[in-house]
């Protein structure tokens, strides 16, 4: 697909989202590093069915989520693939992932996501997510991705509180 995308359709975007949770950094980190916990907030969803989820949580390890959109979603029956590699991990402090996303077999983005865990004075954690993305589809990808991360972090908080 290299060379088939017009330069005008490539969009660079960076955004930062901060959320504060009442749990300590160790508990927050567990929901980033444990495969079963991460799948519940990151992989599973009401608009798609997960066909494959893998999490090899170590520097150089891979994270793979293959899913298919359900009827009633914007892309019924279409495959969504998110594949990444962990670039940097500091336990209870920081996780950096580089990944690509494909929709229906077509690459739509390449990103780097940094999640910093900052302890609060009250014993909780501020999660600072920095998303640096390159979007190839020439649409509103950055806005859709930002909305998606807001939804994911809502689910993350709900899982932390379970």
Relative to beta strand 106-119, strand 79-90 is unpaired
CA distances from 79 to 18, 56, 85 (A): 30, 22, 20
**Predicted pLDDT at 98:** 98
Report the alpha-carbon distance of residue 15 to residue 5 in Å, rounded. 24
Report the alpha-carbon distance of residue 77 to residue 17 in Å, rounded. 30
Report the alpha-carbon distance of residue 52 to residue 68 in Å, rounded. 10
- 25 and 117 Cβ atoms separated by less than 8 Å: yes
Report the alpha-carbon distance of residue 52 to residue 148 in Å, rounded. 20
Give me the half-sphere count of Cα atoms (radius 13 Å) on the Cβ side of residue 45.
22
Torsion on CA atoms 67, 61, 156, 45, rounded to nearest 10: 10
For the cut 50, the answer to whether the pLDDT of residue 5 exceeds it is: no
Strand, helix or coil for residue 19: strand
**Predicted pLDDT at 3:** 44
**Predicted pLDDT at 138:** 65
CA distances from 37 to 75, 122, 132, 139, 156 (A): 26, 24, 25, 32, 9
**Predicted pLDDT at 141:** 82
pLDDT tens for residues 84-140? Answer: 999 999 999 999 999 999 999 999 999 999 999 999 999 999 999 999 999 997 666
Looking at every residue in the chain, the average pLDDT score rounds to 92
User: 46: pLDDT confidence band, cut at 50, 70 and 90?
Assistant: confident
**Predicted pLDDT at 101:** 94
For the cut 60, the answer to whether the pLDDT of residue 20 exceeds it is: yes
Residue 95, judged by CB atoms within 10 A of its CB (0-12, 13-18, 19+), counts as buried
For the cut 80, the answer to whether the pLDDT of residue 4 exceeds it is: no
pLDDT tens for residues 55-74? Answer: 999 999 999 999 999 999 88
Report the alpha-carbon distance of residue 41 to residue 35 in Å, rounded. 10
Q: Percentage of the chain with pLDDT > 90? A: 84
| Apex 143 CA angle, 138 and 149, nearest 5 | 125
pLDDT tens for residues 136-158? Answer: 976 668 999 999 999 999 999 99
């Amino acid at each position: 697909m290299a060379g088939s995308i017009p330069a005008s359709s490539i969009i660079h975007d960076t955004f930062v989202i901060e959320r504060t949770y009442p749990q300590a950094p160790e508990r927050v980190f567990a929901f980033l590093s444990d495969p079963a916990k991460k799948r519940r907030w990151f992989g599973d969803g009401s608009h798609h069915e997960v066909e494959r989820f893998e999490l090899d949580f170590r520097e150089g390890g891979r994270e793979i989520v293959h899913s298919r959109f359900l009827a009633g979603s914007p892309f019924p029956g279409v495959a969504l693939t998110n594949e990444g590699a962990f670039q940097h991990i500091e336990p209870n402090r920081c996780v950096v992932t580089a990944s690509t996303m494909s929709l229906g077999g077509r690459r739509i983005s390449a990103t780097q996501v940094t999640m910093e865990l900052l302890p609060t004075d009250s014993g909780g954690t501020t999660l600072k997510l920095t998303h640096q993305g390159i979007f190839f589809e020439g649409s509103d990808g950055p806005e859709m991705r930002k909305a998606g991360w807001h939804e994911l972090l809502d689910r993350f908080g709900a899982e932390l509180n379970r």
